[in-house]
């Protein structure tokens, strides 16, 4: 029986990977074999180089999904008597708030609507109003909408106020420029299954060494202790606990492809072209992007759902999937949307074919009213809520 080809994943991760990345997972490595130890060292070095970390920063690998390493960053870098300011304009900012609450870290928030970025002025005012805040946590690209927050401007404010900046760069690292020599941060986290175009299963933190050194004993967790993991790696060049060996091998190959293709600048250009082709194609047939163009990162694009009564996301998803493309549901709570990723080992040709598949599916479903429904003037969504700051 013929094997059905894998669909192209138009998602923010897992995503479509190159054949060579997949093939690297067909082998076995011992976690203490010299070849694997060398592979880990090369991965750690290359990730630190992409971040511009040099001798001032260290890359600390971590098993698990991206959320594992976000929690590890907060639990390790923020002392138990610390006070975190969380910048919130989407689901992943809200997840960081939940992490802080579960870990028992005092936190405040500066919140904006989901279609508006956190601004440097908002952060400045929050820090000026509360001298007890020790750390600011920012989601660089909010994957729930695709909005890009102004990292460089916020980093300057945080540095000028003498506070520590922690960055969730899960969906931006290796595609958007982030250089530790120009942007001061104490820690930045991302994962293997995003813009490095490998498989999921490994996170990593690029941490300023001076910030990490005094963090012994901060962590609430044995397995999520970045300080302990780093100290163990310095002594042994190994992971403390069983590493995801096939994931590391796949990432090693993905990094080779990344560098051979031209690194971060080339990846950004391809994703930018993908994003432009996607928005151009879907707006041409009548769908409406959720974000204004100037706020849109070339990672994932949120579109308003059609107002047509014949539209149903699950049916739309299934029919597009049958045509070979996997979409992503919306993350907004009050506005019906769906999301289409621009990242992975794909180019503008695959994006155009996906646009054609979505257009054909909507036609097959009999959906003709592609514009979103007009908002109910008596209701307020998070996308229309005013900016606010909250303490706990």
Percent of the chain at pLDDT exceeding 70: 94
Give the residue carrying structure tokens 């175009």: 197
Gap between the Cα atoms of 246 and 14, Å rounded: 15
- CATH 3.40.640.10 domain position(s) in the chain: 20-260
Q: How confident is the model at residue 392 (pLDDT cuts 50, 70, 90)?
A: very low
Dump pLDDT digits (tens) for 269-281.
Answer: 999 999 999 999 9
pLDDT in tens, 26-46: 999 999 999 999 999 999 999
Reply yes or no on whether the pLDDT at 201 is more than 90: yes
Among 359, 364, 370, 235, which Cα is nearest to 289's? 370
If DSSP codes are grouped into helix, strand and coil, which group holds residue 77? helix
Rounded CA-CA distance 188/185 in Å is 7
Domain with CATH 3.90.1150.10 in the chain: 264-365
- Cα–Cα distance measured from residue 174 to residue 318, given in angstroms and rounded to the nearest whole number: 31
pTM of the model: 0.94
Give the pLDDT score at 383: 46
Do 187 and 166 form a contact (C-beta atoms < 8 A)?
Answer: yes
Provide mean pLDDT across the span 50-70. 97
- The single residue listed with the structure tokens 């994006």 is 351
CATH number for domain 20-260, candidates 3.20.20.80, 3.40.640.10, 3.40.1380.20, 3.40.50.300: 3.40.640.10
Here the tokens at position 221 are 């967790």
Distance CA 158, CA 127 (A): 8
The C-alpha atoms of residue 215 and residue 60 are separated, in whole angstroms, by: 14
Which CATH number is 264-365 given?
Answer: 3.90.1150.10
Distances, alpha carbon 170 to alpha carbons 135, 139, 153, in Å: 19, 8, 19
Q: How confident is the model over 221-271, as pLDDT tens digits?
A: 999 999 999 999 999 999 999 999 999 999 999 999 999 999 999 999 999
- What is residue 292's three-state secondary structure? coil
pLDDT of 328-385, one tens digit each? 998 876 789 999 999 999 999 999 999 999 999 999 999 999 999 876 444 444 444 4
């Amino acid at each position: 029986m013929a094997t059905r080809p894998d669909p192209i994943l138009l998602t923010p991760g897992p995503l479509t990977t190159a054949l060579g990345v997949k093939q690297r997972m067909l082998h076995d490595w011992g976690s203490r074999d010299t070849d694997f130890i060398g592979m880990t060292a090369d991965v750690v070095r290359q990730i630190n180089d992409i971040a511009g970390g040099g001798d001032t920063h260290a890359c600390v690998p971590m098993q698990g999904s991206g959320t594992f390493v976000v929690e590890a960053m907060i639990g390790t870098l923020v002392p138990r008597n610390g006070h975190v300011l969380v910048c919130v304009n989407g689901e992943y900012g809200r997840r960081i708030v939940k992490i802080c609450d579960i870990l028992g870290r005092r936190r405040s928030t500066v919140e904006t609507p989901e279609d508006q970025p956190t601004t440097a002025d908002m952060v400045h005012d929050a820090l000026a109003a509360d001298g007890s805040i020790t750390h600011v946590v920012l989601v660089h690209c909010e994957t729930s909408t695709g909005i890009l927050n102004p990292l460089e401007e916020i980093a300057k404010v945080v540095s000028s106020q003498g506070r520590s900046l922690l960055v969730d760069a899960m969906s931006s690292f290796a595609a958007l420029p982030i250089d530790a020599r120009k942007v001061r941060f104490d820690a930045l986290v991302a994962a293997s299954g995003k813009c490095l175009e490998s498989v999921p299963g490994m996170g990593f933190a690029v941490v300023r060494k001076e910030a990490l050194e005094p963090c012994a004993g901060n962590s609430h967790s044995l397995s999520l202790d970045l300080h302990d993991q780093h100290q163990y790696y310095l002594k042994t060049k190994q992971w403390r606990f069983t590493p995801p060996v096939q994931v590391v091998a796949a990432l090693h190959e993905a990094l080779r492809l990344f560098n051979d293709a031209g690194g971060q600048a080339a990846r950004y250009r391809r994703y930018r072209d993908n994003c432009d082709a996607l928005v151009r194609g879907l707006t041409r047939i009548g769908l409406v992007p959720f974000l204004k163009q100037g706020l849109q990162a070339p990672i994932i694009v949120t579109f308003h759902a059609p107002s047509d009564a014949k539209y149903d996301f699950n049916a739309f998803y299934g029919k597009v999937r049958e045509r070979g493309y996997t979409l992503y549901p919306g993350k907004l709570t009050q506005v019906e949307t769906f999301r289409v990723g621009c990242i992975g080992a794909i180019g503008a040709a695959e994006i155009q074919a996906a646009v054609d598949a979505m257009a054909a599916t909507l036609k097959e479903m009999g959906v003709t009213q592609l514009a979103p429904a007009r908002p109910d003037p008596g209701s307020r969504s998070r996308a229309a809520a005013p900016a606010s700051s909250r303490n706990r």
